[in-house]
Amino acid sequence: IIEGVTVERIRTVDGRAVGVDTDQGPVDAEYVVTCAGMWSHELGRQAGVNVPLHACEHFYLVTEPVPDLPAGLPTLRDTDNCIYVKEDAGRLLVGAFEPVAKPFGAEGLPTDRPFMQLDEDWDHLAPVYEKACERVPILGEIGIRLFFNGPESFTPDDRYLLGETPELRNHFVATGFNSVGIQSAGGAGKVLAEWIVGGRPPMDLWDVDIRRMLPFQTNRRYLRDRSVEALGLLYAMHWPFRQVDTARGVRRSPFHDRLADLGACHGESGGWERPNWYAPKGVEPVYEYSYGRQNWFEHSAAEHRACREGAALFDQTSLAKLLVQGPDAAAVLNHISSADVDVEPGTSVYTTWLNDRGGIEADLTVNRLDDERFLVVTAFSTQVRDSDWMARNTPDGARATITDVTSGYSVLGVFGPDSRRVLSPLTDADLGNEAFPFGTLREIDISYARVIAVRRTYMGELGWELYIPTEFSLGVFDELWATGQPVGLMPAGMHAMNSLRIEKAYRHWGDDIADEDTPLEAGLSWGVAWDKPGGFIGREALIAQREAGLTRRLVQFRLDDPEPLLYGNEPILADGSLVGRITSGMYGHTVGAALGMGYVTHEPGTPRDEVIGGSFEITVNGERIPATASYRPFYDPTGDRIRA
């Protein structure tokens, strides 16, 4: 450990970090870990690495000694008033996480000292301190010895940044700790060391993995504007479906304004403005938060029913699209994919990508356009992660390239039993089941555009995803809406998509499946091509697990009481014993009850049917609710509707 040294830049050679330059000369290193707090963003930028964080001023006060104050008092957190109070050597320390914070360093950070105290700002802190005096009256009776104001770094989503950066190999970060650095330091240091030594994260760290961050999030203005809210969110109520208020409108699909005119209430995810639900005429498209049925519940239910009974239109532009092409593209993708994706052009394949332990690193679709071109479609949240995984597992010298074409295509989804009726007048393509079966794609004419139509579904109904070159998007939308609305086409949002997919038990990566869950445990072994030529990453681990037997299985649950809701993390009990937790939940409007999925642990070798043979309960808000368990979806378990 060498103190008093300024790191000026990270040294790189051939896409790898090889050391740092300092004001006292270069330092060579096999690995470089950036733990530079609020300076990490600029250090990363210089090396072409995205480290999205911004400093905010963080305030606390220390009082004069308080007579007879017991030592070791517990810390008091008053989240309604945005304060914490703790005993500090016979005094009281009062800190604040106010709702509207003060960004620091937008014009540049000082580099002449590692720690700093900023100017007092009583005007900013006074409203918070007045509330503190109401909660702890003695604060109004004793003097203040210290007013401390120091900067801390905050990330756009209030979760810290850990792991190897996708832009630069052998470069790791542990930074942006959002004021919980001391609390998290031991664990963060341990897993980071194990990650470096072992070459992979030692556990599921997706919540803090830097690969969740997107390239635009290095934008300084975005970081400054979001930091105003990020600090206060630490003490804000964590409502279900809560939306951020700052740095909005970053990424908009071409349809944004059209959908807003139709009543869309847009939510923000990964910078994307996505319609979460639609307000009917006379209703303001604004959230009213609660832990019960929120104000959009019935509106989303109507969208859900439109998809089940007629036709619904979804804006799916936020899907990430990666074009993989070259003479070796098929071989590269087939080795990474557990399914066989070396298929005929015009075929769309759902597949998982596994690590060497059999864990699911990604689930996505691989769409073969022709002999040498594939369109890989995944979620916006894993856009960087999945591209990075592909790049890491492409052999040196392979004749294959990866190009992110997300911005090149908008996507409209038309789903429901009437989707053919909506689309057929707009195209001369045969949309019949024999000519255009499930799991295929074709380039077709719609309006004046040529679009890639993919017959897949995340909603569990007949339908197509339409990949539209961006400049043609509005023309296609306008004709589609003009033709579809008279026959009952209805716009539907992300909440409806979630309720539709939960009825079909479609997994969601990051919740129901992740890098510690295998296809065998998750009930996805039907999509594994065990014997395809050349095998695939993770095959040996899956075979070993299959032979040894499972100790946990993903199960679907339906609450027997139609009133409670499920959001995730609710305890699962079998015959009174804790056996797991809900990984994701939503109300199933067709089924008429809240649905959820969760892994049920069991003894090795337990027969599959016996795992769900007991009496199940889900704990909701402290109350045990009887639940029905099933391996099969509660809606259309045979999948007939998607192949109609």
Structure tokens at 9: 């830049």
Q: Are 57 and 121 in contact (CB under 8 A)?
A: yes
414 within some domain = no
In whole angstroms, give the CA distance from residue 37 to residue 196.
20
Asked if 55 and 142 sit in the same domain, the reply is: yes
State how far Cα 592 lies from the chain centre: 27
In whole angstroms, give the CA distance from residue 420 to residue 398.
41
574 within some domain = yes
User: CB-based burial of residue 528 (10 Å sphere; 0-12 exposed, 13-18 middle, 19+ buried)?
Assistant: buried
pLDDT score, position 113: 79
Asked if 229 and 331 sit in the same domain, the reply is: no
Asked if 335 and 206 sit in the same domain, the reply is: no
Q: How many helices (H) and strands (E) does the chain have?
A: 14, 32
- Tens digit of each residue's pLDDT (9 = 90 or more) over 480-495: 999 999 999 999 999 9
Estimate the share of the chain in helix, then strand, then coil, as percent rounded to the nearest 5: 25, 30, 40
Of 494, 527, 560, which residue is a domain's last?
A: 527
145 within some domain = yes
Residue 573 maps to which CATH number? 2.40.30.110
* Number of domains making up the chain: 3
Longest CA pairwise span in the chain (Å): 86
Q: Are 451 and 470 in contact (CB under 8 A)?
A: no
Residue 332 maps to which CATH number? 3.30.70.1400
Asked if 212 and 331 sit in the same domain, the reply is: no
Q: Are 462 and 277 in contact (CB under 8 A)?
A: no
456 within some domain = no
Residue 220 maps to which CATH number? 3.50.50.60
517 within some domain = yes
Q: Which of 108, 106, 149 is nearest to 125 (CA)?
A: 149
pLDDT at 268 exceeding the cut of 80: yes
User: How far apart, in Å, are the Cα atoms of 543 and each of 197, 539, 604?
Assistant: 26, 6, 16
Taking residues 624-633, what's their average pLDDT? 98
Of 527, 560, 592, which residue is a domain's last?
A: 527
- Tens digit of each residue's pLDDT (9 = 90 or more) over 370-409: 999 999 999 999 999 999 999 999 999 999 999 999 999 9
Contacts of 539 (CB under 8 A, 6+ apart): 338, 530
Taking residues 176-201, what's their average pLDDT? 96
Asked if 220 and 109 sit in the same domain, the reply is: yes
Query: What's this model's pTM, rounded to 2 decimal places?
Result: 0.96
Asked if 617 and 557 sit in the same domain, the reply is: yes
In whole angstroms, give the CA distance from residue 329 to residue 324.
6
pLDDT score, position 507: 98
Asked if 135 and 166 sit in the same domain, the reply is: yes
Structure tokens at 628: 């029905």
Asked if 563 and 643 sit in the same domain, the reply is: yes
pLDDT score, position 57: 96
Q: Which range of residues forms the domain containing residue 336?
A: 327-399+512-527
How many C-beta neighbours within 10 Å does residue 416 have?
28
**CB burial readout 425-447, b (16+ within 10 A) else e:** ebbebebeeeebeebbbbebebb
Of 186, 217, 236, which residue is a domain's last?
A: 236
- Tens digit of each residue's pLDDT (9 = 90 or more) over 454-483: 999 999 999 999 999 999 999 999 999 999
490 within some domain = no
